[in-house]
Amino acid sequence: MQRRAKARGTRGGGRAAPARKEKAAPRGEQRRRGRGAVVTRATRETNVQIELQVDGAGASRVSTGVPFLDHMLEIFARHGFFDLTVTGTGDLEVDTHHTVEDVGLTLGQAFRDALGDKAGIRRFGEAAVPLDEALVSVVVDLSGRPYLVYDVALPNTRIGSFDGELVHDFLQAFMTQVGMNLHVTCHRGRNPHHIVEATFKGLARALDHATQRDPRVRGVLSTKGTL
């Protein structure tokens, strides 16, 4: 079901207004259309629009003004089988930090909106992904409890014109908005491009698994009854 939400506000605090109630589609109809969201986030620093289809084919159209981030988001869409359109403009003359972080926030919000009450999904996912010498594992739990463990040493590393440290900021913003537990562990690696690419592939694969519906799951997969 497509939902539209608009968030305007200060950095880091932009929460969506509650999504409009829409007429409930019949069950089969919902399944066919898949789970999607459209989110716009505009601040004085950036303007980000994201269209996400969780039950997609991996198609993407990404333009954030930060080429390495575009490359990573295309990889993320492809390997997670998410359809993803990202359009972002930001104050790149200041730094790429605002844009990278705000794309993370908006993408997280899109996942949260698209997944709704998370009924019927697997909730947990994990993936270990190699890229030549690099090996990164990603474990996720769509628990509603944001917590990030980022065990990757990329201090002040530049990847082309991209500041490798921003991957941490991106993931922090993303997982906070999704409301997820996210563990990223780099077991080994030399080339920072390889390490980051394996991170995004791992995130994609783990999230793909966690967001898939399992017919055995009735309601939400929690003894508490809510996620």
Nearer to Mn ion, 48 or 75 (CB): 75
What's the closest the beta carbon of residue 168 comes to Mn ion, in angstroms? Answer: 19
The answer to whether the CB of 113 falls within 8 A of the CB of 3 is: yes
Residue 80 or 179 with smaller CB distance to Mn ion: 80
Closest approach of Mn ion to the CB of residue 20, in Å: 39
Residues 165-224 within binding reach of Mn ion (CB under 5 A): 197
- Residue 218 CB partners (closer than 8 Å, separation 6+): 120
Q: Residues near 85 by Cβ (< 8 Å), separated by ≥ 6?
A: 49, 50, 51, 52, 60, 61, 62
Subset of residues 130 to 159 that bind Mn ion, contact rule: CB under 5 A: none
Nearest approach, Cβ of 103 to Mn ion (angstroms)? Answer: 18
**Min dist. Cβ of residue 163 to Mn ion (A):** 16
Contact residues for 17 (Cβ-Cβ < 8 A; gap 6+) = 5, 6, 7
Q: Which of residues 18-47 bind Mn ion (CB under 5 A)?
A: none
Of 159 and 180, nearer to Mn ion (C-beta) is 159
Q: How far is the CB of 197 from Mn ion (least distance, A)?
A: 5
User: Within 13 Å of residue 208, how many CA atoms lie on the same side as its CB?
Assistant: 20
Closest CB 193 distance from Mn ion, rounded Å: 6
**Residue number closest to Mn ion, CB atom:** 197
Cβ-based nearer residue to Mn ion, 134 or 227: 134
For Mn ion, the closer CB: 75 or 184:
75
Query: Coil, strand, or helix at residue 121?
Result: strand
Is residue 175 helix, strand or coil?
Answer: helix
Taking CA atoms, 207 is separated from 98, 124, 186, in Å, by 24, 8, 18
Number of residues that bind Mn ion (CB under 5 A): 1
- Nearer to Mn ion (CB atom), residue 70 or residue 197: 197
Q: Which of 157, 203, 167 is nearest to 182 (CA)?
A: 203
User: What residue ranges bind Mn ion (CB under 5 A)?
Assistant: 197
